[in-house]
Amino acid sequence: MAKLNTNSNAYTIIYASVLVIIVAFLLAFVASALRPTQDANVALDTKKQILSALNIRDLSNAEAEAKYSEVITSGELNSPTLTANVDGEEKLIVAVKGAGLWGPLWGWVSINKDGQTVYGTFFNHESETAGLGARIKEQWFQDEFQGKKIYGADGNVALGVYKKGKAPATLSADNYVDAVTGATLTSNGVNDMIQKCLTDNQGAIEAFKE
């Protein structure tokens, strides 16, 4: 029987191919095994973000799961709108999605039963600049929306984000918040996604309000 030539090109190619197949199989197996856990973690994070839009924050994982089941009364995680009951008061939650300077933006806007007043918000991003656009994820910015009015005098969605001193003269101060300093494009992205998604869901807002 001929001795295997481990220095030949054929041996190197076969050896490398077998290793690639084995590694690919192991990676696929691990990914498949971890998928349920990863999906559960993503779902939990989404629930925490929705709860944040209802001004319910800083919960442990177990607390968040329980609170979400308690307050959310209709809608799925991927629904454009959900409803909730917080301390005996009904809220409508509208999902918002858009684009920032470097990547996707998303979040939720919760609305009081009057269909006009913002109860709370949560915004997130994929890759905005740290210390600038990434600050839309910070609570101080999100809290600025509380009590703001969605519609302007003309009945159209007016809620927005504008650079300080640059808001349209036709808008009331109740209709907007100041943009994040040094993050004009990200702030514009938040403004655009709020106005588009609230406009797209205006029918649901009208149906929800008293």
Residue-wise pLDDT tens digits, 58-112? 999 999 999 999 999 999 998 999 999 999 999 999 999 999 999 999 999 999 9
Q: pLDDT in tens for each of the 210 residues of the chain?
A: 556 566 677 767 877 788 888 887 777 777 677 676 777 888 999 999 999 999 999 999 999 999 999 999 999 998 999 999 999 999 999 999 999 999 999 999 999 999 999 999 999 999 999 999 999 999 999 999 999 999 998 999 999 999 988 898 888 899 999 999 999 999 999 999 999 999 999 999 999 987
Residue 20: the pLDDT is 83
User: Model pTM greater than 0.85?
Assistant: no
Per-residue HEC secondary structure of 48-92 comes to: HHHHHHCCCCCCCHHHHHHHHHHHEEECCCCCCEEEEEECCEEEE
Tokens of 4: 């295997």
Q: What is the pLDDT of residue 197?
A: 97
Amino acid at 113: K
Question: Under DSSP, is residue 42 helix (H, G, I), strand (E, B) or coil?
Answer: helix
Structure token pair of residue 109: 């806007």
- What residue has token string 């918002």? 96
What's residue 192's pLDDT?
97
pLDDT at 8: 72
How high is the pLDDT of residue 2?
56
**Confidence (pLDDT) at 3:** 62
